[in-house]
Amino acid sequence: MFRFRYLFIAVVTLIAFKLSAQQIQTGRNPVPDPRNIKIESIDKVRGKLRTGAEQTELYLPYLKGKRIGMVVNPTSVIGSTTVVDSLLALGVKIVKIFGPEHGFRGDASAGIHVDDSFDAKTGIPAISLYGKHNKPTKEDLADIDLMIYDIQDVGVRFYTYINTLQHVMEACADNNKELLILDRPNPNGFYVDGPILDPKLKSGIGINPIPITHGLTIAEYAQMLNGEEWLANKVKCKIKVIKNANYNHTMPYILPVKPSPNLNTAQSILLYPSLCLFEGTIISQGRGTYFPFTILGNPDLKGKYKFSFVPKGIKGMSETPLHMNKECYGIDLRQYNINKIRKEGKINLSWLIELYNAYPYKDKFFDFKQSNQMGNFDKLAGTYDLKQQIIAGKSEQEIRQSWEPGLSKYKLMRKKYLLY
C-alpha cells in the first residue's frame, strides 16, 4: 500500500515537471487543469503549507531557455537557501538581481539608499530599487525575458515592498515584460483594518486607497493593482502566479526569515500594524534595541512607567535611533498575548491614546520637526483625522466609526481579488 502511494506521488511529480506555461495560474480566474488538481490533492494529504517558490515543479519548465531577472531579498528562500542560489543550481539563467529597501542581502538600515553593485556570492549584477531610482529602467530590462518577484510581505500599507511590486509591474508593463509572482503567505492576512488612505497623503509609505492592514498576499495585491487600474497611466502588467499550496488567510504563519532588520520576531510582525504609527510620534518604538516594535517609551515618561530601555546605535538595524543613549520609560509588549489581535481582528489604538494622554508636552507629541528619526504621522495613518481625533480625546469606538463607509467598501472590493 505504502509502495503504491509513493509510486503514485513520484509519477504525478514527474508529470508536474512537464507542465507547460498554460498551467501556471494567471489573473483572478485561472483555468483549472486536471493535473494541477491531482497535485493539490496530494498536498492536502500531506497537510503542508508550501510557498510559491517551493513549488519549483510548477514553474521550472517555464523558465527554461529564458534570461531571468529576479526581484528578491533575504526572505526569498526555498528552505534555508536563497531562491537565487537554488534556481542557479537548477540551471536557471539569472542575469540580474533587483533589491528593494534594505538591499538584496538585507544589510541596509531602514530608509538608507542602496547603490547598484554586484552580488558578492554569485557575481550577478544587483540593481537597487531603493537608491537612484525605484523602478527598473528600460536599460535594466533590455536583456531580460522574464521577471520574477519573490519577496515576503507583512500585509501593511506602509511596509514598502508593495510599492516595489507596483513599480516593478509598471516597468514590466511599459517594456512588454512578463512578471512571474511566487506568492507567499501574509502573516497579518487574517484581518483588514484602519482608515483608507486619503489620496492627498500619497507618499513613499502609501500610494493607493487601501487600509493599514490590507488582508492580501502579494499576488492578490498585484491583481488588485491591475484590476483597479492603479498602475501609472492605467497600464496592465502581464502576470503569472504560483499560489501558496494549502494556505488560507486565517492560518497563523511564522516567517522562516525576518522580513526586515527591525521586524525580527513573530511578536513584532503582528504588533507592527499598531506600533508603526508611533513612528510619527515622539515615542520610541524600540528601534536601537533588539526588541523593535515590541516596546514603547520616552525619557519624559519617567515616573509614570516602571519599564525602561535605552536605545543604542545598532549597525544594520538603527544607527541613530530616536532618543539614542537616553533611558526611555513606557510599555513592554514582548509578552503581550498576540492571540488577542487574531481574535479581535483590529489594530490596537489604546496604546496610542494612552501614551498621548500620559505624555506631558502634548504639542510635541506629533511634531516630526523635532527629529529626522520621526515620520509624518498623517502619512503613516493615511488620514488627517486620526491625529486630530487623538488630540480631541475621541474614543476608539468614535475613531473607528470615522473609517466607514470606506473600510467596508474596500473589504467588498477586496473579495474580487482573493486567491485563497
pLDDT for residue 11 = 39
pLDDT for residue 121 = 82
Q: List the chain pLDDT tens, one digit each, 420 residues.
A: 434 343 443 433 344 434 433 334 444 333 333 223 232 333 343 469 999 999 999 999 999 999 999 999 999 999 999 999 999 999 999 999 998 865 565 444 444 445 667 887 888 999 988 777 889 999 999 999 999 999 999 999 999 999 999 999 999 999 999 999 999 999 999 999 999 999 999 999 999 999 999 999 999 999 999 999 999 999 999 999 999 999 999 999 999 999 999 999 999 999 999 999 999 999 999 999 999 999 999 999 999 999 999 999 999 899 999 999 999 999 999 999 999 999 999 999 999 999 999 999 999 999 999 999 999 999 999 999 999 999 999 999 999 999 999 999 999 999 999 999
> Which CB contacts under 8 angstroms, 24+ apart, belong to 405-408?
406/195, 406/196, 406/209, 406/211, 407/192, 407/193, 407/194, 407/195, 407/196, 407/211
Enter the C-alpha cell of residue 389: 481625533
- Which of 181, 194, 190, 164 lies closest to 223, judged by CA? 181
pLDDT for residue 33 = 33
pLDDT for residue 50 = 98
Cα 377 to Cα 386: distance, rounded to the nearest angstrom: 9
Which residue shows C-alpha cell 508550501?
A: 50
- Distance, C-alpha 173 to centroid of its chain: 22
pLDDT for residue 119 = 80
What is the rounded end-to-end Cα distance, in angstroms, of the chain? 33
Q: How many CB atoms lie within 10 A of CB 105?
A: 18
- Which of 275, 327, 262 lies closest to 298, judged by CA? 327
Do the beta carbons of residue 251 and residue 276 sit within 8 Å?
A: no
pLDDT for residue 287 = 97
Cα 341 to Cα 357: distance, rounded to the nearest angstrom: 23
